[in-house]
Structure 1
Amino acid sequence: MPFVAHRALGWEPVVIDESWGLKTIRQGSAYSVCNSLYCRDCGFVFLDIRFSESELASLYRAYREEEYTELRERYEPGYKARNDGLNAGMNFMDEVESFIAPHLSFPAKILDWGGDTGKNSPFRHGENQIDIYEISDKETLPGTRRVSEAELKQTRYDLIVSSHVLEHVPYPGDLIADMVSVMNEKTLLYIELPYEDIMNAADHGGASPYGKKRHWHEHINFFSRRSLEKLLEANGIEQIAYRELNMKGGANCQAVFQILCRRKPKDAAQA
C-alpha cells in the first residue's frame, strides 16, 4: 500500500543499499507492512489498518486534484490517464436512475452522502432538491447545495445515496448507522459499491478470496454480497431491490453492486 501509506500516514518506501551497512538485512526496496484480513462467515476482505479521522482527511485532501494525482502517478504509473476519465463522471447514470426511479416519487428530496461535487448524484437534472454531505471542501455543481450535519438532520429525505463510499471508510457499519439515523420508514437508501474481481469470482463459484489480496490502494474494504447483506441487516435495513451491473468500456469500467433498501418497520425490527 505504498501510495496510501505515504498519503495518509507519511510512510515513504526506502531503498536499502550497501551504505546502510547492514549485514543480515537484504538490500532492496522496503515498503510499509500491512495485513489482509478475511471473515470466514461472510467473506469480507479488509485491510487491518483502520485510519483515524486525521489520517482519512490527509488521504482525501484535494481528492483527485493535482497534488493527489501526481503522488499516485508516482506509485501507480498510468493513474493520471484513468483519473481524467473518473473526473468526467460516471458513464452509466441512466442505469442508476432506472434502477431507483420505479420506487421513488418525484420531485424528491435527495441527500448524496459523500457525493463530492455532485457530478455523480442521480436525478440532478430535474426538479429535485439535491443536497451533498461531504468531508472535502469542493464547491458543488449548480443545482446542488452542500449541507452540514446539523442541516441534514433537519430535513426529511426521500432518498439517501451512498455511492462508492463504504469501500473507503474505516468503519462502514458506523457510516450506515449514521445514515439510518436520518432516515424514516419511507426514506430509500441506495448503496453502490465496486464488485471487486476476487469477490465477484468467489460469489459465483470461484475460489475463495482468502490470501489473494496483497496490494491495497484506497479501497480498504472488499465486500461480498453476503457481507454487505449482513451489514445492512445488523443496522435494521431491508432490501427492496438488488442488482449486479457490469459495465464495459471507459476509464471507470467495472462491476458494481446496486442495492436499494429502507429501514425495517419498527415491529419487524424488534421481532
Structure 2
Amino acid sequence: MTESQYTPPLPGRASTQCFCCHSTDLEREWAATSPFFAQRALCRHPQAIMLIKCLGCGTRYFDFSPTKDELDRLYAGYRRSEYFVQRNSFEPWYTRAVNDDLGAEVQMQMRRAVLRDALEEHGITKHFENILDHGGDKGQMLRELRAKTKAVYDISGVPPEEGVIALDQTQIKEIPWDLILSCHVLEHLPDPQSYLEELVALGRPGTIYFFEVPDESFRSFGLSASSLQKRWIGWLAKRIFAFKVFDFLSTACRVKLRVLPPLGFVALREHLSFFSTLGMSRLFQENQLKILSVKIRASGHICAVAMKAAAN
C-alpha cells in the first residue's frame, strides 16, 4: 500500500446540527483516529479528524462516518485473540485482563442490578411475555428477568445463554415485545437516529425500552481547536511510539480526571459518540418515546427508561 492511498480525507457525518437536539450551536476540536482503528478498520495511517461538541445538550461526536465494510473489519472476531493482539500492539494498556473483564460476570451482575432497580423505580416489576436484548451479545442482561420468551439479536453470532434464543433481523419483527434493551450500542453507531427509529418500530404502544451508554463526559481546553493541535496530531501520527505515549496520557486524564490536558487528544477506537443525559433525552423525544428517566446510575453508565407512546 503506497503513501498516496492514505491521503484522501475521511468522509464526515452531517455536522451542521446536533443529531440529538438539532442545535446548530456547535464547537469543534481536533482529535485523531487511533493507530489500531486506522489499521484495522480503515487500512490507512492515523490522522487528525474533527470532534464536534453540541453546546445545546453536551453531546460529542466524531465528524467521521465509517462505512459498513470498515465497521465489519473493526468488529470481526470482536475481543477475541486476533483482535486483542492487534489492539494491544498499539495500546499496551489494553491488557488481556482489560479485554477479558469487558462483559465479565462481575460487571454483568452490577449492570443487571441497575436494570432491575431502574425498572422497579417505575413500578415495572411484572412478568413479561416477550423481551429482547438488541445487540446484547449472549443475552447476559436478561438472566434475572422473568419472561415467557427471552431473545437476543446480535451480529456477532455467538451462542446465546441458556434460556435465551437468538433471532435474526427478520424474526425480531414478528414478535410483540414488552421490553427491549439496547445496552452499549448507540455509541458505536455512525447513525444513532436511524438505529433508534428501527428499534422503536419493533415496539408497540406501551413497550418499555432500557438504554445504557457510557458516561464519558470531560472538559477540554481551547488549544484543542487550534491549527497547532492539528499539526501536533499530524506529527504524532508519523511517530507511533510518541503517539502511544500521548494517547495513554490523554486517555488516562480524560477517563480518571474528566479533563483533556493541553496537547491531549481524543482517539477514535470504537465509540463514535459521547452522550450526555440531556442529549439522550432530546434524542428519545424525537422518536415517539415517553421518557421515564435518564440519569447516571450506580454502574457509572447513563441509563434511560422509556415507553413507546401511542401514535398521534
TM-score bracket for the superposition, by shorter chain length: 0.7 to 0.9
Of 164-173 and 234-243, more deviation after overlay is shown by 234-243
Q: How does 1:63-212 map to 2 (within 5 A)?
A: 63-79=78-94, 80-89=96-105, 90-92=108-110, 93-101=112-120, 102-119=123-140, 121-124=141-144, 126-198=146-218
Query: TM-score, normalised to structure 1's length?
Result: 0.79
Query: TM-score, normalised to structure 2's length?
Result: 0.69
CA contact (8 A) 1:131 1:147 kept: yes
Shift of 1:259: 0.8
CA contact (8 A) 1:97 1:123 kept: no
Structure 2 partner of 1:7: 40
Cα gap change, 1:61 to 1:189, in 2 (>3 Å): same
User: Aligned partners of 1:266, 1:212: CA distance in 2, in Å?
Assistant: 46
Shift of 1:106: 0.2
Identical amino acids, percent of aligned pairs: 27
Higher helix share: 2
Alignment partner of 1:230 is 2:282: yes
Shift of 1:266: 2.5
User: Aligned partners of 2:271, 2:41: CA distance in 1, in Å?
Assistant: 13
**Aligned-partner SS, 2:194:** helix
Shift of 1:76: 1.3
Q: Where do 5+ consecutive residues of structure 2 fail to align? A: 1-33, 220-257
CA contact (8 A) 1:130 1:143 kept: yes
User: Aligned partners of 1:242, 1:188: CA distance in 2, in Å?
Assistant: 14
Alignment partner of 1:264 is 2:309: yes
47, 65, 68: which one pairs with 1:32? 47
Cα gap change, 1:246 to 1:95, in 2 (>3 Å): closer
User: Aligned partners of 1:116, 1:186: CA distance in 2, in Å?
Assistant: 25
Q: How many residues are aligned here?
A: 234
Alignment partner of 1:219 is 2:234: no
Structure 1 residue identity aligned to 2:301:
V
35, 40, 46: which one pairs with 2:61? 46
* Backbone CA RMSD of aligned residues: 2.4
